Amino acid sequence: MKRLAVAAAAILCAQIASADDLRNDALAVFKPIPSTVPEVRGNPVTPEKITLGRKLFFDPRLSGSQALSCNSCHDVGAGGSDAGPTSVGHGWQRGPRRAPTVFNSVFNIAQFWDGRAADLAAQAKGPLQNPIEMNATADVLLAVLKSMPEYVADFQRAFPKVADPVTFDNVAKALEAFEATLITPASPFDQFLAGDDNALTVTQKSGLRLFMDKGCSACHNGVNIGGDGYFPFGVIEKPGADVLPRDDHGRFMVTKTASDDYVFRVAPLRNVALRAPYFHSGQVWSLEQAVAVMGVAQLGTELTPQEVKDVTAFLGSLTGEQPRIEYPLLPPRTKETPIPH
């Protein structure tokens, strides 16, 4: 019995040491999601801005048809994205790329798959005015908001000491402030990083080790497990045209630099298990298939079925506490409110 006890203690010590080694290696590459709302450069996040931004995020009257809201494509009940490969916009048009998740997007180096927006405020202005997406104009949008006294009062509270606070810039800043609150802390992976050896299963720990050792973490790192750099899709081998459409040249369309051809911002992997389908084309519906595609395309490695299973299990540990958002009561329209177009 004494020998068995000694052997069991030795095994336990080895497991603890192994977990500590894995954790230390992970902490050198990743950072946990903070439990508090991060600061936003140039736009102090206040309760008043958050309240206003939440209303604007859910209000379909910001669109030309007054039928589409930010939440239509970035559904806070579905991982911060939508259910289809690409989003349905104005007049049933479809955009060319999958809607990125809004969750934890405040941690990204830039917004959109090609990084053309420097921050969430700049990003917010794009879909509002895009004729394929919300199909509004700044002038019409402001006319809608100014026609409702409750919105005018909300803007005055959110942006005090400003003579005319209802501006397009302030719409974007309010949306940015609300979206900065959409973080998902306390995932099993974060709990493991904080010292809980039991937060990850044996399979998830194996997947984490593979994720680092195989080279996935060279691109997918930091607090958002991605989102902070740009890399070609197809470093070793370009996927087929169904996954990588040949007419979407990625960041090249922004920079016009040849080396940016088929380069995209690295997808953040937080809550990735909630967000099928995958990639900017939205053509891969299985997370295991997405892992296998990335192995070949980015690493030049055909992962074994067990390796795919383990890495996928690790990715499941990145699902954090989802934001609990109460749907706002929106200001009623008045006789001055422009009608849909």
> Quick one: 176 and 157 in the same domain?
yes
> Quick one: 247 and 274 in the same domain?
yes
Is the model's pLDDT at 1 over the cut of 90? Answer: no
Q: What is the band of 18 on the pLDDT scale with cuts at 50, 70, 90?
A: confident
User: Are the C-beta atoms of 64 and 138 separated by less than 8 Å?
Assistant: no
* Phi–psi pair at 117, nearest 5 degrees: -110, 130
Q: Which pLDDT score, from 0 to 100, does residue 13 have?
A: 43
In whole angstroms, what is the distance from residue 254 CA to residue 324 CA? 35
Region 147-167: what's the mean pLDDT? 97
How is the chain split among helix, strand and coil, in percent rounded to 5? 45, 5, 50
Is the model's pLDDT at 12 over the cut of 90? Answer: no
> Quick one: 71 and 175 in the same domain?
yes
Instruction: Give how far the C-alpha of residue 254 lies from the chain's centroid of Cα atoms, to the nearest Å.
Output: 20
Establish if 3 belongs to a structural domain: no
Please check if 280 is assigned to a binding site: no
Q: Which domain holds residue 56?
A: 47-180
Look at strands 263-265 and 230-232 and give their pairing.
Answer: antiparallel
Q: What is the pLDDT of residues 114-152, one digit of tens each?
A: 999 999 999 999 999 999 999 999 999 999 999 999 999
Q: What is the band of 10 on the pLDDT scale with cuts at 50, 70, 90?
A: very low
Establish if 336 belongs to a structural domain: no
Residues 6+ apart with CB under 8 A from 312: 207, 287, 288, 291
Assign 193 to helix, strand or coil: helix
Please check if 90 is assigned to a binding site: yes
Please check if 70 is assigned to a binding site: yes
Q: What is the pLDDT of residues 57-91, one digit of tens each?
A: 999 999 999 999 999 999 999 999 999 999 999 99
> Quick one: 163 and 229 in the same domain?
no
Q: What is the pLDDT of residues 117-127, one digit of tens each?
A: 999 999 999 99
Catalytic residue selected from 39, 48, 133, 237: 133
The per-residue pLDDT of the chain, averaged, comes to 94
In whole angstroms, what is the distance from residue 49 CA to residue 299 CA? 43
In whole angstroms, what is the distance from residue 223 CA to residue 206 CA? 20
Establish if 218 belongs to a structural domain: yes
Residues 6+ apart with CB under 8 A from 241: none
Q: What is the pLDDT of residues 273-289, one digit of tens each?
A: 999 999 999 999 999 99
Q: Which pLDDT score, from 0 to 100, does residue 70 have?
A: 98
Region 103-123: what's the mean pLDDT? 97
Establish if 78 belongs to a structural domain: yes
> Quick one: 119 and 197 in the same domain?
no
> Quick one: 26 and 128 in the same domain?
no
> Quick one: 301 and 220 in the same domain?
yes
Is the model's pLDDT at 9 over the cut of 80? Answer: no
Establish if 52 belongs to a structural domain: yes
DSSP symbols for 232-260: ETTSSSPPPTTTS-TT--BTHHHH--GGG
In whole angstroms, what is the distance from residue 147 CA to residue 141 CA? 10
Please check if 13 is assigned to a binding site: no
Residues 6+ apart with CB under 8 A from 242: 281, 283
Region 306-320: what's the mean pLDDT? 98
> Quick one: 172 and 213 in the same domain?
no
Q: What is the pLDDT of residues 221-251, one digit of tens each?
A: 999 999 999 999 999 999 999 999 999 999 9
- Taking residue 91's Cβ as centre, other Cβ atoms within 10 Å add up to 10
CATH number for 129: 1.10.760.10
Residue with tokens 């989102």: 227
Is the model's pLDDT at 16 over the cut of 80? Answer: no
Question: Is 133 an annotated catalytic residue?
Answer: yes
Q: Which of 36, 69, 304, 63 is nearest to 185 (CA)?
A: 36
Choosing from 180, 196, 226, the residue where a domain stops is 180
Quote the number of domains for the chain: 2
> Quick one: 98 and 211 in the same domain?
no
Q: What is the band of 6 on the pLDDT scale with cuts at 50, 70, 90?
A: very low
Establish if 335 belongs to a structural domain: no
Region 209-225: what's the mean pLDDT? 98
> Quick one: 265 and 310 in the same domain?
yes
Q: What is the band of 3 on the pLDDT scale with cuts at 50, 70, 90?
A: low
Q: Which of 176, 179, 187 is nearest to 35 (CA)?
A: 187
